[in-house]
């Protein structure tokens, strides 16, 4: 599977003759399985029609910073959060300078400032402009901020000059974009991740459960796999496809999940408990469907096993990461759980907010460990998972 499969990419197109190549970049990104949205500057529209980019991408082209229809739907902040990668190709000398100075006087500029996603630019300009000290200083500044510079190529330019400054070819740009999602930060590590809800039976047709979709756990598994880890996913019942190239173990109840977790964590390096496990189960499960009897019914419940605590206790050398899904006093409850369950770290989020957490495509969390805390602002669960895995690999795992 391509490293760009299911990645969300904003292709920014700025003014320049190389804009005609952007149509091919869209195609090549889609060939690799990416979902592409195009954002054009007004100058870019002078070189290639937005209608062309819309037809190729299959989505409306965004260009106006103040667009009432866009702001009511996928406005610039939503676009910024949606993306896994902001790829600007071509990136003109003028727009690169605007990026350096943080200008947000265009939709593309505003997205650049607002996105938590990776950012890459493919410069395209005259060779003299590229070689100018101001342009070179701007490129250095962007690189120091973590922006990936793709190219430029050299050769004959539209003006007749020969030298560096041509935009890289689409295949090369797409290849470089793909490499941004391949890393070896967790190469050789074995990771077990629990995901989804558990179901605790009341009778053959009814059960206790919750709204967990499994999206966050699956996104973490995919990010860990892309980071080079050998990943096992222990998941409760979900309706989304299992992460590819991961060992997948399907379970139903908390006891099932505990048994699978203990078995797989024994030789793991990292355990991430992203599942939303039911706290209680029925003391007695009826053999037959429970019939309606009167206006009230009492069901006796007993506590389920605490999976993350059990795994941490059974494996003293294992780095265990818990999740705390709270509706109030999020950080306070999370810190208490971190200490009480002897975890290496905990990831806390507020599930009372309807636009993040359970069943949502976005999330916003706090990473808390023994010595620090990091806030990951609202972004797609795909992007959030990659950011968490990168933080975990760089700061917590030896």
* More confident of the two residues 326 and 211: 211
How confident is residue 1, by pLDDT bands cut at 50, 70 and 90?
Answer: very low
Beta bridge partners of 270: 191, 319
Tell me the pLDDT of the chain averaged across its residues.
Answer: 89
- pLDDT, average across residues 308-320: 95
* pLDDT score of 42 more than 90: yes
Q: What is the pLDDT of residue 64?
A: 80
Residue written as token pair 């880890």: 229
End-to-end alpha-carbon separation of the chain, Å? Answer: 29
Phi, psi of 36, deg, nearest 5: -115, 130
**What whole-number distance in Å separates Cα of residue 278 and Cα of residue 197?**
7
Domains defined along the chain, listed by start: 8-179 (3.40.50.1950), 190-395 (3.40.50.10300)
Q: What percent of the chain has pLDDT over 70?
A: 93
* Residue 138 contacts residue 91 (beta carbons within 8 Å): no
How confident is residue 358, by pLDDT bands cut at 50, 70 and 90?
Answer: low
b or e along 85-114 (b: 16 or more beta carbons within 10 Å of the residue's beta carbon)? bbbbbbbbbbbbebbbeeeeebbbbbbbeb
* Residue 94 contacts residue 126 (beta carbons within 8 Å): no
Q: How do residues 140-168 score in pLDDT, each as one tens digit?
A: 999 999 999 998 988 776 767 777 888 99
Q: What is the pLDDT of residue 245?
A: 84
- pLDDT, average across residues 287-296: 89
- pLDDT, average across residues 19-42: 93
Q: What is the pLDDT of residue 287?
A: 93
- pLDDT, average across residues 37-61: 94
Q: What is the pLDDT of residue 356?
A: 67
Q: What is the pLDDT of residue 156?
A: 74
- pLDDT, average across residues 325-329: 83
Q: What is the pLDDT of residue 78?
A: 82
Q: What is the pLDDT of residue 75?
A: 62
In 3D, which of 184, 246, 181, 221 has the Cα closest to residue 29? 181
Of 69-78, 159-168, 259-268, 330-339, which gets the smallest average pLDDT?
A: 69-78
In 3D, which of 234, 281, 284 has the Cα closest to residue 258? 234
How confident is residue 108, by pLDDT bands cut at 50, 70 and 90?
Answer: very high
* pLDDT score of 9 more than 70: yes
- pLDDT, average across residues 77-95: 92
Q: What is the pLDDT of residue 396?
A: 66
**What whole-number distance in Å separates Cα of residue 337 and Cα of residue 323?**
9
Residues that are catalytic: 159
How confident is residue 72, by pLDDT bands cut at 50, 70 and 90?
Answer: very low
* pLDDT score of 130 more than 50: yes
**What whole-number distance in Å separates Cα of residue 12 and Cα of residue 88?**
4
Of 50-64, 119-133, 293-307, 369-383, which gets the smallest average pLDDT?
A: 369-383
Residue written as token pair 């609202």: 378
Of 138-152, 271-285, 358-372, which gets the smallest average pLDDT?
A: 358-372
Q: What is the pLDDT of residue 73?
A: 46
How confident is residue 204, by pLDDT bands cut at 50, 70 and 90?
Answer: very high
Q: What percent of the chain has pLDDT over 90?
A: 65
Query: What would the 3-class secondary structure string for the chain be?
Result: CCCCCCCEEEEEECCCHHHHHHHHHHHHHHHCCCEEEEEECCCHHHCCCHHHHHHHHCCCCECCCCCHHHHHCCCHHHHHHHCCEEEEEEECHHHHHHHHCCCCCCHHHHHHHHCCCEEEEEECCCHHHHHCHHHHHHHHHHHHCCCEECCCEEEECCCCCEEEEECCCHHHHHHHHHHCCCCCCCCCCEEEEEECECCEECCCCCEECCCCCCHHHHHHHHHHHHCCCEEEEEECCCCCCCCCCCEEEECCCHHHHHHHHHHHHCCCCEEEECCECCCEEECCCCCCCCCCCCCCCCCCEEECCCHHHHHHHHCCCCEEEEEEEECCCHHHHHHHHHHHCCCCEEEEEECCCCCCCCCCCEEEEEEEECCCEEEEEEEEHHHHHHHHHHHHHHHCCC
**What whole-number distance in Å separates Cα of residue 18 and Cα of residue 167?**
6
Q: How far is CA 84 from CA 5, 205, 207, 372, 392, in A?
A: 11, 40, 37, 26, 19
Q: What is the pLDDT of residue 398?
A: 54
How confident is residue 359, by pLDDT bands cut at 50, 70 and 90?
Answer: low
Q: What is the pLDDT of residue 71?
A: 47
Of 179-183, 205-209, 382-386, which gets the smallest average pLDDT?
A: 179-183
């Amino acid at each position: 599977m391509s490293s760009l499969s299911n990645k969300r990419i904003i292709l920014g197109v700025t003014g320049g003759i190389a804009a005609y190549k952007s149509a091919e970049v869209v195609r090549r990104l889609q060939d690799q399985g990416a979902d592409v949205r195009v954002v054009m500057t007004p100058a870019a529209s002078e070189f290639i029609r937005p209608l062309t980019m819309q037809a190729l991408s299959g989505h409306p082209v965004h260009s106006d910073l103040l667009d009432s229809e866009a702001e009511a739907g996928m406005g610039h902040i939503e676009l910024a959060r949606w993306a896994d990668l902001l790829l600007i190709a071509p990136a003109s000398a003028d727009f690169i300078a605007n990026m350096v100075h943080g200008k947000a006087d265009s939709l593309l500029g505003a997205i650049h400032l607002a996105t938590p996603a990776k950012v890459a630019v493919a410069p395209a300009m005259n060779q003299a402009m590229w070689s100018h000290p101001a342009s070179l200083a701007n490129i250095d500044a962007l690189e120091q901020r973590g922006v990936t510079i793709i190219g430029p190529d050299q050769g004959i330019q539209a003006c007749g000059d020969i030298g560096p400054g041509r935009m890289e070819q689409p295949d090369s740009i797409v290849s470089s974009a793909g490499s941004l999602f391949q890393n070896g930060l967790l190469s050789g590590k074995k990771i077990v991740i629990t995901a989804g809800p558990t179901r605790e039976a009341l009778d053959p047709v009814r059960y206790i459960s919750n709204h967990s979709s499994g999206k966050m756990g699956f996104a973490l598994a995919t990010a860990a796999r892309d980071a080079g880890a050998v990943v096992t996913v222990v998941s409760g019942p979900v309706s989304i496809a299992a992460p590819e190239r991961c060992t997948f173990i399907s379970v139903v109840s908390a006891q099932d999940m505990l048994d699978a977790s203990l078995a797989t964590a024994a030789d793991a390096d990292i355990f991430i408990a992203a599942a939303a496990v039911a706290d209680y189960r029925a003391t007695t499960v009826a053999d037959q469907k429970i019939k309606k009897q009167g206006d009230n019914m009492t069901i006796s419940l007993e506590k389920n096993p605490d999976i993350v605590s059990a795994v941490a206790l059974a494996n003293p050398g294992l780095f265990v990461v818990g999740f705390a899904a709270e509706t109030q006093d999020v950080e306070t409850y999370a810190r208490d759980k971190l200490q009480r369950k002897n975890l290496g770290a905990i990831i806390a989020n507020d599930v009372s907010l309807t636009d993040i957490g359970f069943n949502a495509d976005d999330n916003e969390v706090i990473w808390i460990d023994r010595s620090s805390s990091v806030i990951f602002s609202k972004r797609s669960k795909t992007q959030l998972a990659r950011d968490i895995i990168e933080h975990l690999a760089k700061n917590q795992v030896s």
